[in-house]
Amino acid sequence: MLALIELSSPKGAPWEFLVVFAVLLLGPVLFRRAGIPGIIGLLVGGYAIGPHGLSLIGAGNNTLPDLGQLGLLYLMFVAGVELDLNLINKYRRSTISFGILTFAIPFVLGALVGFALGWETLAAILLGSLLASHTLITYPAVKEAGLASDPAVATAVGSTVLTDTLALIVLAGVAGSVAGGRSSVEVAAQVAVGLVVLIGYSLFVLPQLAGWAFRWLGTERAVRYVVAITAFLSAATVAELFGIEGIVGAFFAGLGMNRLVPNEGQLMDRIEFFGGAVFIPVFLVSVGFILNPSVMVKGETLGLAGLFIVACLGGKAIAAQISARLFGFSRSQAGLLFSLSAAQAAATLAATVIGFQLGLFSSAVVNAVLVLIFVSVLASTIVGTRASARASSPDGPRPLGTRIVVGLGEPELALGALTLARRIARADGGVVHPLLVVPEAAPFAPREALARLSEVVAAAGVDGQALTIVDRSVLHGALRVGRAQEATLVLVAEPVPDDDAQSTATPLAAGAPQRAWERSPAPPVAVVRGNADRLGVVRVRLDDDELESPSIAAEMARRVASGSAQRLDEDHAEWSELLAPGDVTFVSSELGDTLGKLPGVGDGLVVSTVAEWLIREESARDTPPEVPGDATLG
């Protein structure tokens, strides 16, 4: 029987993918158990299976390098889509300053190394530019440590687009000059036009197309995920049409999709899952795949590599320390700046290969850059791991739109409230969670209602799964889920039915003992009356006290209006008559004796905050049971 069986050596796509996924599975685990960062396991694993290791995957294989390139684009897209744009805007001065420093210092040092070695001017300039760029290899680990919103991390991530763009402009100029067909001015003009087109497409056209796709192609998980993948691939393609590296396009696509993909939403969860499990680790394996120790340990290679390492990592360290002192960052934050800006990868390698093809670099320079890539990744990973352990997660109040729960009794009332919630959340990069509250006395058959609600959620462009909870009222159910999930705002698309709530309810006695759940802070609550698929004029009507102090109603109006809302005063006693279809007026509950006495809505929307005493009374009527599993927001 054995003589009849003929076995061949494993080959083909199944074998190659098996080997790669074995490295993804075992590499990080084994190295973490040895006290070494898991990212090093991916690099070493890539070398082990590559042509210079066990040769399980041959040198002519294109599958792994192509997947690695996709992983790099994916990494840059995730970095852009996860950026807190409000934080970047807040720290734009440090972002621009650090971007200039972390490019200029390594660039100058690298060019000086080139001149000291006797290279021609273009070769020295190209060397400086490739040492000045960086890749956010350690960003996933820093994010996992809960430091994505740290000012130093936001500064380093925001500076990436500046450093890489400058490096690629230098590369394009050098390549155009050496090729001889075009002048440096012509090449610079093409890159400048390309950047304008890329920014216009990524920040203006792409969000409109993606928003349309989210609304009209449905809320299916696969469809929304494919839209996101298509978005960054299209931006990378637009970039490459003008000779700009695709990673710049992928990063700009992330910025363009930032408001459409809230960090706590379902789509972001899927993007992070596939990126963290497959695409980004495959990129790291592909970097290890090209390592060749037998060439890298030669005397000439090590000598060049030593100079490159001092110029690159020394320049990055100097830039991080100067920026930390300029902007008051701590020692651990300076380590984060260095960690995120020091790693060299695909952009560096691409510039090196082009320099070799143009005859500016020798093979020894290419191998020396490979040594630099390995050492920079190793150094940035070790420093980043230690800095992340010492740094503390940023504390402080979360913005109003971070996490909004929208309580609904009828799906037909949902569109106006969800549209308002989406506007409020988008200003803060937050997420909206629709919640269908089924009355306790009603038959529990929410499937049809959930189906109708899902259609409304898609039409409103909300990246949230429709949830269900059984409760005695929409207000109480929404408040329970909001408290349990630490919501920053609760909207209720149904008026409080009890017109005598104020006369029958009394605030909690000051000295009355409270249970633990009652002492947990309740989020601000507002009732939304009316319905609209598009929003018109935004107005705000406040009482005298709220004009002198921060007001939730005014803050909601500012976010919905994307600026200043029209303010109504005592001369507008019949303000509800001003409401045209889609118009929104935000009022405080103190303007009416009870919520039930507010004027009619007419054709517009009225958003009224709920008094704190009513929230306390509603919460204190009984001890809420555990939130059902189908209402868990994740």
Greater pLDDT, 369 or 392 = 369
pLDDT value at position 107?
A: 94
Domain match, 80 and 141 both: yes
Domain match, 386 and 477 both: no
Whether 501 is covered by a domain: the verdict is no
**Range with lowest mean pLDDT among 318-322, 381-385, 457-461, 473-477:** 457-461
Closest CA to 262 of 480, 421, 376, 125: 421
pLDDT in tens, 310-367: 999 999 999 999 999 998 888 899 999 999 998 887 668 767 877 877 788 887 888 8
Where does a domain end: 390, 424, 441?
Answer: 390
pLDDT value at position 512?
A: 36
> What whole-number percentage of the chain has pLDDT above 90?
13
pLDDT value at position 180?
A: 55
Q: What is the mean pLDDT of residues 549-564?
A: 78
Q: What is the mean pLDDT of residues 412-439?
A: 85
Number of residues in the chain: 634
Q: What is the mean pLDDT of residues 184-197?
A: 79
Most confident of 128-132, 184-188, 577-581: 128-132
**Three-class SS of residue 509?**
coil
Per the CB < 8 A criterion, the answer to whether 145 and 388 are in contact is yes
pLDDT value at position 360?
A: 86
Whether 8 is covered by a domain: the verdict is no
Pairing of strands 566-568, 525-529: unpaired
Per the CB < 8 A criterion, the answer to whether 271 and 261 are in contact is yes
pLDDT value at position 502?
A: 38
Where does a domain end: 360, 390, 420?
Answer: 390
Domain with residue 208: its CATH number is 1.20.1530.20
Q: d(Cα 340, Cα 357) in Å, to the nearest integer?
A: 29
Domain match, 283 and 352 both: yes
Specify the residue for token string 């920040």.
Answer: 203
Specify the residue for token string 């021609």.
Answer: 120
Per the CB < 8 A criterion, the answer to whether 489 and 418 are in contact is no
**Range with lowest mean pLDDT among 119-133, 447-461, 492-506:** 492-506
pLDDT at 629 over 60: no
Q: How far is CA 418 from CA 5, 36, 258, 432, 526, in A?
A: 65, 47, 19, 8, 13
* DSSP-derived secondary structure letter, 628: P
pLDDT at 472 over 50: yes
Beta-carbon neighbour count of residue 537 at 10 Å? 15
DSSP per residue, 178-209 = HHSSS-HHHHHHHHHHHHHHHHHIIIIIHHHH
pLDDT at 79 over 50: yes
Per the CB < 8 A criterion, the answer to whether 127 and 114 are in contact is yes
**Range with lowest mean pLDDT among 1-15, 348-362, 453-467:** 1-15
**Range with lowest mean pLDDT among 101-115, 350-364, 452-466, 517-531:** 517-531
The model's confidence at residue 501, banded by pLDDT at 50, 70 and 90, is very low
pLDDT value at position 277?
A: 85
pLDDT value at position 522?
A: 73
Q: What is the mean pLDDT of the chain?
A: 78
Q: String of b and e for 175-187 (b: at least 16 CB within 10 Å)?
A: bbbbeeebeeeeb
Q: d(Cα 205, Cα 513) in Å, to the nearest integer?
A: 57
Closest CA to 405 of 394, 415, 416, 418: 418
Q: What is the mean pLDDT of residues 587-592?
A: 61
Domain match, 34 and 89 both: yes
Greater pLDDT, 527 or 215 = 527
Enter the tokens of residue 323.
């920026």
Closest CA to 70 of 258, 344, 275: 275
Domain match, 242 and 115 both: yes
Enter the tokens of residue 604.
């517009």
Domain match, 189 and 306 both: yes
Domain match, 331 and 419 both: no
Where does a domain end: 390, 413, 445?
Answer: 390
**Three-class SS of residue 430?**
coil
Domain match, 187 and 316 both: yes
Whether 7 is covered by a domain: the verdict is no
pLDDT at 538 over 70: yes
pLDDT value at position 105?
A: 94
**Range with lowest mean pLDDT among 75-84, 318-327, 393-402:** 393-402
Whether 440 is covered by a domain: the verdict is yes
DSSP per residue, 96-119 = HHHHHHHHHHHHHHHHHHHHHTT-
Whether 510 is covered by a domain: the verdict is no
pLDDT in tens, 297-311: 788 888 999 999 999
> What whole-number percentage of the chain has pLDDT above 70?
80
Please report, to the nearest 10 degrees, the dihedral formed by the alpha carbons of residues 18, 20, 22, 24 taken in order. Answer: -140
Domain match, 186 and 93 both: yes
pLDDT at 569 over 80: no
pLDDT value at position 219?
A: 61
Domain match, 374 and 429 both: no
Q: d(Cα 174, Cα 344) in Å, to the nearest integer?
A: 20
Domain match, 145 and 284 both: yes
**Range with lowest mean pLDDT among 46-60, 160-174, 585-599:** 585-599
Greater pLDDT, 214 or 577 = 214
Sign of the dihedral through C-alpha 222, 225, 227, 229: negative
Closest CA to 249 of 165, 369, 128: 165
**Range with lowest mean pLDDT among 78-87, 191-200, 419-428, 612-621:** 612-621
DSSP per residue, 148-180 = TT-HHHHHHHHHHHHHHHHHHHHHHHHHHHHHS
The model's confidence at residue 599, banded by pLDDT at 50, 70 and 90, is low
The model's confidence at residue 239, banded by pLDDT at 50, 70 and 90, is confident
pLDDT value at position 628?
A: 44
DSSP per residue, 28-97 = HHHHHHTTS-HHHHHHHHHHHHSTTTT-SS-TT--HHHHHHHHHHHHHHHHHHHH--HHHHHHTHHHHHH
Q: What is the mean pLDDT of residues 431-444?
A: 79
pLDDT value at position 309?
A: 94
Q: What is the mean pLDDT of residues 597-615?
A: 66
Q: What is the mean pLDDT of residues 438-451?
A: 72
Whether 395 is covered by a domain: the verdict is no
Per the CB < 8 A criterion, the answer to whether 128 and 107 are in contact is yes
Greater pLDDT, 460 or 503 = 460
* φ/ψ of residue 469, rounded to 5: -145, 145
Residue 150 lies in domain: 13-390
pLDDT at 6 over 70: no
pLDDT value at position 137?
A: 80
Greatest Cα pair distance, the chain, in angstroms, is 101
Whether 4 is covered by a domain: the verdict is no
The model's confidence at residue 235, banded by pLDDT at 50, 70 and 90, is very high
Domain match, 338 and 435 both: no
Enter the tokens of residue 522.
């309740």
pLDDT at 552 over 60: yes
Whether 195 is covered by a domain: the verdict is yes
Instruction: Please give the tally of structural domains in the chain.
Output: 2
Pairing of strands 605-609, 525-529: antiparallel
Its pTM stands at 0.69
The long-range contacts involving 498-506, CB below 8 angstroms and separated by at least 24 positions, are 498/596, 499/594, 499/596, 499/597, 500/594, 501/594, 501/595, 501/596, 501/614, 502/593, 502/594, 502/614, 505/613, 505/614, 505/617, 506/617
